Chains A and B, each alone.
Chain A
Amino acid sequence: MGQSSSTVGAPTELNRREFFPSNRFNFRSSAVVPEFESNEEFAEADFLENVVAGLDYTADLPDECLASIFHFLGSGDRKRCSLVCHRWFRVDGQSRHRLSLNAKAEILSFLPSLFARFDSVTKLALRCDRKSISIDDETLVLISLRCPSLTRLKLRGCRELSDRGMELFAQNCKGLKKLSCGSCMFGAGAMNAILDHCTALEELSVKRLRGLHDAADPIGPGAAASSLKSICLKDLINGQCFGPLIIGSKKLRTLKLIRCLGEWDKVLGMLGNFNPGLIEIHLERVHVGDVGLYSISNCSNLEILHIIKTPECTNFGLVCVAERCRLLRKLHIDGWRTNRIGDEGLMAIANQCPNLQELCLIGMNPTSLSLAPIATNCPKLERLALCGSATVGDPEMACIATKCVALKKLCIKGCPISDEGVEALAWGCPSLVKVKVKKCRGVGGEVVERLRERRGSLVVVLDACEIEPLDGSGSEVGVQESGMEFPLIGNQITDASSSFNGRLTTMFRTKFGFFASRNLVACTFRRWSNADDGLNGDS
Chain B
Amino acid sequence: MADDGVNTKVEAVSKATTETIELRTEDGGVFDVDKPVAMEFLILKSFYEDEGRVFDKTSIRLPNVKQLELSKVIEYCTRALEFGAKSAAAAGDKDAERMVRQEREGFEAEFVDELSNEMLKELILAVNFLDIKEMLDFLIRSVANRIRNRSVAYVRQFFDIENDFTPQEEDQIHQENAWAFEGVDAD
Residues of A within 8 A of B (CB): 1-3, 22, 24-25, 27, 32-40, 43, 45, 47-48, 55-58, 60-62, 65, 68-77, 79-86, 88-89, 98-102, 107, 110, 113-114, 117, 123, 125, 127, 152, 154, 433, 457, 473, 475, 477, 529-530, 534-535, 538-539
Partner of A34, one of B60, B164, B170: B60
B176 contacts across to A, CB distance below 8 A: 110, 113-114, 117
Q: A2-B130, A34-B61, A35-B61 are in contact. List 17 more A-B contacts (CB 8 A).
A: A2-B133, A22-B125, A25-B64, A35-B63, A36-B60, A38-B59, A55-B161, A56-B159, A57-B159, A65-B128, A69-B143, A80-B150, A81-B147, A110-B176, A477-B94, A529-B186, A539-B187
Give the docked Cα–Cα distance between A2 and B140 (Å).
13
**Interface of chain B, main secondary structure:** helix
Partner of B155, one of A34, A80, A477: A80
Binary flags per residue of B132-166, CB closer than 8 Å to A gives 1, else 0: 11001100110111011111100110011111110
Quote the shortest CB–CB distance from A314 to chain B (angstroms): 35
Pair B94/A34 contact, Cβ less than 8 Å: no
Pair A89/B173 contact, Cβ less than 8 Å: yes
Pair A73/B43 contact, Cβ less than 8 Å: no
Of B5-13, B32-40, B45-53, B78-86, which stretch is located at the interface? B45-53
Give the docked Cα–Cα distance between A45 and B151 (Å).
42
A99 contacts across to B, CB distance below 8 A: 180
B147 contacts across to A, CB distance below 8 A: 69, 73, 77, 81
Quote the shortest CB–CB distance from B38 to chain A (angstroms): 13
Task: Report the number of A-B residue pairs with Cβ-Cβ less than 8 Å.
Answer: 193
A70 contacts across to B, CB distance below 8 A: 144
B14 contacts across to A, CB distance below 8 A: none
Give the docked Cα–Cα distance between A77 and B145 (Å).
11
Pair A55/B160 contact, Cβ less than 8 Å: yes
A433 contacts across to B, CB distance below 8 A: 94
Given the interface contacts A43-B47, A100-B181, does A84 sit within 8 Å of B156 by beta carbon?
yes
Give the docked Cα–Cα distance between A538 and B186 (Å).
11
Closest to A38 in B: B58
Pair B173/A37 contact, Cβ less than 8 Å: no
Pair A83/B125 contact, Cβ less than 8 Å: no
Pair A107/B64 contact, Cβ less than 8 Å: no
Give the docked Cα–Cα distance between A160 and B100 (Å).
55
B113 within 8 A of A: no
Residues of B within 8 A of A (CB): 42-43, 46-47, 51, 53, 56, 58-64, 94-95, 98, 117-118, 121, 124-125, 127-133, 136-137, 140-141, 143-145, 147-152, 155-156, 159-165, 170, 172-187
Quote the shortest CB–CB distance from A21 to chain B (angstroms): 10
Pair A34/B63 contact, Cβ less than 8 Å: yes
Give the docked Cα–Cα distance between A123 and B147 (Å).
25
Give the docked Cα–Cα distance between A457 and B99 (Å).
12
Give the docked Cα–Cα distance between A74 and B151 (Å).
14
A79 contacts across to B, CB distance below 8 A: 177, 180, 182
A37 contacts across to B, CB distance below 8 A: 58-61
Pair A98/B185 contact, Cβ less than 8 Å: yes
Give the docked Cα–Cα distance between A85 and B173 (Å).
11
Give the docked Cα–Cα distance between A74 and B182 (Å).
8
Partner of A83, one of B121, B173, B179: B173
Partner of A57, one of B59, B62, B117, B174: B117
Give the docked Cα–Cα distance between A84 and B129 (Å).
26
Give the docked Cα–Cα distance between A306 and B172 (Å).
49
Give the docked Cα–Cα distance between A110 and B178 (Å).
11
Pair A75/B144 contact, Cβ less than 8 Å: no
A58 contacts across to B, CB distance below 8 A: 121, 159, 161
Give the docked Cα–Cα distance between A457 and B56 (Å).
50
Give the docked Cα–Cα distance between A361 and B183 (Å).
33
Partner of B131, one of A1, A39, A123: A1
Given the interface contacts A24-B125, A84-B152, A473-B95, does A114 sit within 8 Å of B63 by beta carbon?
no
Partner of B164, one of A22, A25, A86: A86
A40 contacts across to B, CB distance below 8 A: 53
A102 contacts across to B, CB distance below 8 A: 178-181
Give the docked Cα–Cα distance between A47 and B61 (Å).
14
B187 contacts across to A, CB distance below 8 A: 123, 152, 529-530, 534-535, 538-539
Quote the shortest CB–CB distance from B36 to chain A (angstroms): 19
Give the docked Cα–Cα distance between A114 and B172 (Å).
11
Pair B179/A84 contact, Cβ less than 8 Å: no
A34 contacts across to B, CB distance below 8 A: 43, 60-64
Closest to A471 in B: B95
Pair A69/B163 contact, Cβ less than 8 Å: no
Give the docked Cα–Cα distance between A43 and B46 (Å).
12
Quote the shortest CB–CB distance from A500 to chain B (angstroms): 32
Give the docked Cα–Cα distance between A71 and B56 (Å).
40
Quote the shortest CB–CB distance from A234 to chain B (angstroms): 15
Closest to B160 in A: A56
The 7 closest A-B pairs by CB, nearest first: A72-B144, A56-B161, A38-B58, A2-B131, A100-B181, A35-B61, A76-B182
